[in-house]
Amino acid sequence: MASPDADRIRRRASVISRHLSRWVPPAATRTLNVSACVQYSPPESSEKLGFDVGEMRRVMDGHDVEARDWAYRIMEESPLFWSPRRRPEGRVFMIPDYNQPMEHQREMTMRRIMYLKERGMYDGWLTGGRETEMRRFALLESAGLFDHSLSVKTGVHFFLWGLAIRYLGTKYHHDKWLKDSENLSVKGCFAMTELGHGSNVRGIETIATYDSSAGEFIINTPCESAQKYWIGGAACKPHYNLCSAAYTRKNQGVHAFAARIRDDDGNVCPNIRIADCGHKIGLNGVDNGRIWFDNLRVPRQNLLNSVCDVLPDGQYVSVIEDPDQRFAAFLAPLTFGRTSIIASAVYSSKVALSIAIRYALTRRAFSIEPNGPEVPLLDYPTHQRRLLPLVAKTNFISFFQVCYELCGRLHKADVCGEDPEMNKAIHIYSSAFKASMTWHNMRTLQECREACGGQGLKTENRVGVHKGEFDVQSTFEGDNNILMQQVSKALLAEYITAQRRRKPFKGLGLEHMNDPSPVIPANLTSSVVRSIQFQTDMLRLRERDLLGRLAKEISDHQARGKERSMLSSCYQVSEELGRAFSDLAVLQTLVEAEMAATDGPVKEVLGLLRTTYALIIIEEDASFLRYGFLTPGGATVVRKEVGALCGELRPHALSIVTSFGIPPSLLSPLAFDWVEANSWPAVDIP
């Protein structure tokens, strides 16, 4: 009797035999079709520029286009900026070597800064007049396209240290430090953040007392949580530190003192301790440091006193009586740094999108028809949906001119705080835009990294490594979530004031609140949702409704005796309101730019970008459905229209990223002949 195992073996052998007997070998004449090797073809060979990219660039950059191009040229002329890898096609890229140790990256950052100084980039940055304001921003943005560390290190010295001296200081401070700071014979940093306090500046623990017998302030770090932390540029080079400390006499609040922390030879001064913050996930070209003050004595004259002063006998005087307005005046000059972050985030997104779009126009995958050619990635609707709405949202054009113009008014005023309304507007716009732009940049970098596939992981292709380099923007110069709450708090104050005084809204773009609430059509069509009227009404309706909801929630908390936690308890509506304010402000500037453009192809593309921007905002924000601003049927119409707009933007994709004005040397190998860049000859070249 056969065993069960033997029976199973015979059955399996029989099945295999029957299977093989049915197999018919292919005809001898049939051959395997071998595809030709992938060949790179530049996108310019198949894509036509549909409009004047120079005209579009002038609209987007907004100012100082020639100065930007000059900055690109002088960087290209120096090997300090060249990528360590040579290319077989002879192309030179300007890419920092992120593989070098932290100390080497810091040294290279400083060498580049000194080179740019010798070429005259920083001339007039601290001593020039009104005409240098916008040029300074443009040049910093251009340097930041090369390396975020270069931008931050430069910004700390000129925007935080230098401009604080200029606007918070008076003639004594200007004569003593401005010229030497401009030519970098004096190097400075700005110490506000502490281990225990970041966004809550009022809570900093570093203290300053006044010794009237010596005419000196005594600055002290009373506990470990009071150590100054993440101070950009503090670890290695600066001679001076602008220290923020709480003046203890009658609790007068936070003030700024210029304190010497190193001598001319670079040695740390007595009563000062400095430590390195160490290696970071990015931005390792900046020497972030920690500082302790051990009863450091600072001359009375080193108090920056444009807003307030301490007389020799210790008497405290100020041109601003209200302590809140005085505190706002103290923070106002810091907006220069925050505004530079906004622009840096926008240009980082432009670099990433330029690389990802160019790659998507030349990288092919799969064919639609049998034996047909493979299709460029950007011809797939899914890829368009990933990248083109981000292109539209990155075309913020020069809307951060709002911040620039406010900063210009600050320059013209010369004395911080003489216009509290101006200080408030500066703070609100810069806070809202800083949060929304830096969040947008991180999302863009991630999407572009994924859209570039494995190539996006390579450091030399820039997109992936920029995620680590720019991540810090979400928290420095103010945590984004806190900034959005501050925006909502300011809008709420305007709302309550207008209601109590029964006066119309004025300022911060709230004038639309004086008009009747917009009425959204019940049946939405393609032509309706593409109209400026619909888009503006939707974003205004959202801001109006959220502001009213926040006021009601706050009122309800007050009625329940929960005033201390009322704003934080309403955090969801508060953050939604902050985003609504920012989105509406951007849309209004997009509309203004479109209306100002001459009829023609540029204006038509601006209209497509504006419509895509507005509809993607409406589609992505759940509050439009949550609070009934949009019906489910209307949401379906908007979603369908976004897909159609992506298809209409597709022919203009190369033209749009070209109009960003970024020179080829500041992109990456992936944006050009990526086959040649990864070829064997490229490996052999040292």
Q: Which two tokens stand for residue 61?
A: 């950059």
Per the model's pLDDT, the better-predicted residue between 90 and 78 turns out to be: 78
- Asked if 477 is an active-site residue, the reply is yes
Q: What is the pLDDT of residue 414?
A: 47
Classified as helix, coil or strand, 257 is strand
Residue 517 DSSP symbol? P
Q: What is the pLDDT of residue 595?
A: 92
* Residues sharing a CB contact under 8 Å with residue 466, sequence separation 6 or more, in sequence order: 148, 348, 351, 352, 445
3-state per-residue secondary structure call for 94-160: CCCCCCCCHHHHHHHHHHHHHHHHHCCCCCCCCCCCHHHHHHHHHHHHHHHHHCHHHHHHHHHHHHH
Strands 240-247 and 188-191, bridge-based pairing: parallel
CA distance readout (Å), 477 to 155, 195, 406, 434? 12, 15, 18, 9
Classified as helix, coil or strand, 88 is coil
pLDDT tops 90 at residue 186: yes
Least confident of 159-163, 305-309, 394-398: 394-398
* pLDDT tens track for 470-481: 999 999 888 999
The verdict on whether residue 372 carries a ligand-binding annotation is no
Per the DSSP assignment, residues forming a β-bridge with 211 are 216
CA distance readout (Å), 130 to 161, 239, 275, 410, 416? 19, 28, 38, 10, 16
Classified as helix, coil or strand, 61 is helix
Q: What is the pLDDT of residue 4?
A: 61
* pLDDT tens track for 589-639: 889 889 998 999 999 999 999 999 999 999 999 999 999 999 999 999 999
Tell me which amino acid residue 373 is.
P
* pLDDT tens track for 662-671: 999 999 999 9
Rounded Cα distance, 321 and 338, in Å: 27
H or E, element range at 32: none
Q: Which two tokens stand for residue 503?
A: 């006066």
Domain at 329-666: CATH code: 1.20.140.10
Nearest to 190 by CA among 208, 216, 164, 167: 164
* pLDDT tens track for 502-541: 889 998 899 999 999 999 998 999 999 999 999 999 999 9
Nearest to 404 by CA among 140, 54, 70: 140
pTM (2 decimals)? 0.90
Where does the pLDDT of residue 417 fall: very low under 50, low under 70, confident under 90, or very high at 90 and above? very low
Rounded Cα distance, 270 and 221, in Å: 14
Q: Which two tokens stand for residue 478?
A: 């103010």
Would you list the domain boundaries of the chain? 65-83+92-168, 186-319, 329-666
Strands 207-211 and 240-247, bridge-based pairing: parallel
Mean pLDDT, range 558-586, rounded to an integer: 81
The verdict on whether residue 193 carries a ligand-binding annotation is yes
Q: What is the pLDDT of residue 88?
A: 53
* pLDDT tens track for 192-223: 999 999 878 888 999 999 999 999 999 999 99
Please give the angle made by the CA atoms of 179, 185 and 130, to the nearest 5 degrees: 30
Given 133, 477, 576, 619, which residue is catalytic?
A: 477
Q: Which two tokens stand for residue 556?
A: 């309800």
Helix then strand then coil, % of the chain, to nearest 5: 60, 10, 30
Q: Which two tokens stand for residue 321?
A: 């009586």
Q: Is the CA virtual torsion 79, 85, 91, 95 positive or negative? A: negative
Rounded Cα distance, 542 and 627, in Å: 9
Rounded Cα distance, 39 and 525, in Å: 44
3-state per-residue secondary structure call for 595-617: HHCCCCHHHHHHHHHHHHHHHHH
* pLDDT tens track for 477-502: 889 999 999 999 999 999 999 988 88
Domain 186-319: CATH superfamily, name plus number: Butyryl-CoA Dehydrogenase, subunit A, domain 2 (2.40.110.10)
